[in-house]
Chains A and B, each alone.
Chain A
Amino acid sequence: MKALLLTAAILLSVPLAAEASGPRERRDPEPAGMVRIVGGSFRPLYRQPGEELVTVASFLLDARPVTRAQFEAFVQAHPRWQRNRAPRLFVDANYLRDWEGPASAGALRARELPVSDVSWFAAKSYCEAQGARLPTTAEWEYVARADEHRRDAAADAGFRQRALELALGRRLQPVGSGFRNAWGLSDLHGNIMEWVYDFGSVFAGSDSRATSRLDRNITCAAGVTSTGSAGDYAAFLRYALRGTVEARSTTGTLGFRCARSIP
């Protein structure tokens, strides 16, 4: 009798335990598709106030931007992020606007494209559901300095020109098919622009010509946004986007990838 009761108790407790952990704790134990980035220090090519030397701790970063197929799996598992259910506080009217259906990314050939038309909130929630997070601006800019062979090619004018050309390419490509840098990261330059966690800490300046003397009425402690190198046009474009976009904005050319801290 006791054995029977014990067995019953064990059998009953299993589904209860599963219930208690809930969907948030469904975590991928190995960060598949992520690359380990060794930390370091650098002078950003577009310096924000308070920034001289930036130090980045080692971290993990997705080798590729998140694809439509991956995001589809996410909205199927988390229906509140489907197009017709996500609150307008978190997404704008163009969220996933060219998807076949609220939970269907569409044609096979489109599935490996980077997901676009996602807001910061949607991107953040995706990463959190993987037990990850969005990369910071510092982390993103740190790895963006690499060309195909060198981890820091920022001083190379030829690389800066190529990064600019890649950034302005028109059509979205399947992830991993384009530029791949020395860290093993694909599509940092080109294919799609990417959300960062702290885009809200970027001040674009009200009028970009005076190397941004920000209006002290609108911004407390407004200083001068200095540019480390006026020659890195691709960096200007990235910072301009971060400095003007809203958290709920979705655009056809803005996607994301996820990062993880290393404990």
Chain B
Amino acid sequence: MNRIIRMAVVMLTALLVAACVRNEQTATGDVHTHHAAAPGADAATSVAPAPASDLSIYQLESEWTDQHGRTRQLAELRGRPQAIAMVYTHCGSACPRIVGDLKRLEAEFPELGLVLVSIDPERDSPGRLHEFATGSGLGERWTLLNGDDGALMELAAVLGVRYRRVSDTEFMHSNLITVLDTAGVIAYRQEGLGEAPRTIAALREQPQLQ
């Protein structure tokens, strides 16, 4: 019975959040980019609004290795909201600030999990990720992931992250933090650095995310 109630709560939450998805904002001015399919906008057949699980990124079946060397699937992150960013540990400029923004979210929202996915899997081995997590004070609530190029490409595609290698040691990449609800549906996108206060304010308006 408990399990059923819990599932119902999760699904209800997910449905409520899916309804809010179209109100997402990004940090550059008041820009609203069309992201989720508008329910009922299917041109050929009339369909009911897409169920929340239809949009969950946990539909990706890719395999990852975390900072503890464990094999993980993204779907294991289901059940609590997650803030996720794609970075690399040798990044000098933006990535530390992204981590900083994530730490602010960590402090504000006790239920929130935090996920860092490396776009530099060759250098950011699970061991290196473990070192980085320890060195940066990233505790229990943090998941750091190493995956192959295919897995990275797919994840970047669903999150809307762009990245490319520009030298032997440097990558160019979007500065983006994506907040997922408990079902893995994108609930908020923070574009740009140092926008944590705005993100926090927006997330406070979605209490089921906290």
Contact = CB atoms under 8 A, between A and B. Distances in A.
A247 B41 CA distance: 18
Interface in B144-165: 153-154, 156-158, 160-165
Taking chain A's interface residues, is the majority helix, strand, or loop, or is none over half, making it mixed? loop
B161 A220 contact: no
B30 interface: no
Contacts of B167: 50
Contacts, number: 108
Contacts of B174: 218-220
B37 interface: yes
Nearest to A119: B157
B59 interface: yes
Contacts of B47: 84
Contacts of B11: none
A50 B170 CA distance: 9
Contacts of B161: 200
Contacts of A169: none
A56 to B, nearest CB: 16
A224 B38 CA distance: 35
B59 to A, nearest CB: 5
A157 B135 CA distance: 55
Interface residues of A, number: 35
A203 interface: yes
A55 interface: no
Interface in B46-82: 47, 50, 54-57, 59
Contacts of A248: 157-158
B173 A89 contact: no
Contacts of A87: 54-55, 59
B42 A93 contact: yes
A72 to B, nearest CB: 15
Given A50-B165, A89-B55, A83 B172 contact: no
A198 B156 CA distance: 10
A150 to B, nearest CB: 29
Given A88-B50, A93-B43, A221-B171, A247 B164 contact: no
Contacts of A222: 172
Give the residue among A48, A84, A220, A246 with the most B Cβ atoms within 10 A: A220
A246 B28 CA distance: 19
Contacts of B93: 216, 220-221
Interface string A198-216: 1011110000000000001
B164 A48 contact: yes
A219 B87 CA distance: 11
B153 A198 contact: yes
B36 interface: yes
B45 interface: yes
Contact of B157 (A99, A200, A216): A200
Given A89-B55, A98-B44, A99-B44, A120 B157 contact: yes
A49 B56 CA distance: 33
Nearest to A134: B153
A197 interface: yes
A121 interface: yes
Interface of A: 48-50, 83-84, 87-90, 92-94, 96-99, 120-121, 197-198, 200-203, 216-223, 246-248
Given A88-B36, A223-B166, 15 more contacts: A50-B167, A50-B172, A83-B44, A87-B59, A89-B55, A89-B57, A197-B153, A198-B164, A202-B162, A203-B164, A217-B28, A218-B175, A219-B174, A219-B175, A247-B158
7 contacts: A84-B47, A94-B43, A97-B43, A217-B192, A219-B173, A220-B172, A221-B166
Q: Which 4 A-B pairs have the closest CB atoms?
A: A50-B166, A247-B157, A220-B94, A201-B164
